[in-house]
Amino acid sequence: MAALARALVADQVAHGDATQTFVRVHTAYLERQASTLERTLSTTRVASTLAAKRRRAVRLSADVHRELGLLHRHPGDPKLGERVGAALERAAKQAERLGT
């Protein structure tokens, strides 16, 4: 669900369908979620068999956090919205693969 929200905000920026205030507010919230996830994953102990997946998940959440930060700082940039939207879609697919 959160992945969908992130992609929707980026898509709205890409198509000029959202105000800059809307984008700033929503990306700030989503950025906090990604940061919390990154921090939680970084500090959670896991079995050695899951350590590699946890490291990939930490990197993935850091990537999402960074992309949302870019969108937050440049809420009116349609080209950036397209790029961030594509990056977030890739991240969602990678996260799905991590879960299997």
Q: pLDDT tens-digit profile of 38-94?
A: 999 999 999 999 999 999 999 999 999 999 999 999 999 999 999 999 999 999 899
Sign of the four-CA dihedral 36, 38, 43, 44: positive
Residue 55 identity (one-letter amino acid): R
Distance, CA of 73 to CA of 20 (rounded, Å): 10
- Residue 3: the pLDDT is 66
pLDDT score, position 4? 66
Kindly give, in sequence order, each residue whose CB lies less than 8 Å from that of residue 63, ignoring residues fewer than 6 positions away: 87, 91
User: Residue 99 — very low, low, confident or very high, per pLDDT cuts 50/70/90?
Assistant: confident
Tokens of 26: 């929503």
Which DSSP letter does residue 49 get? G
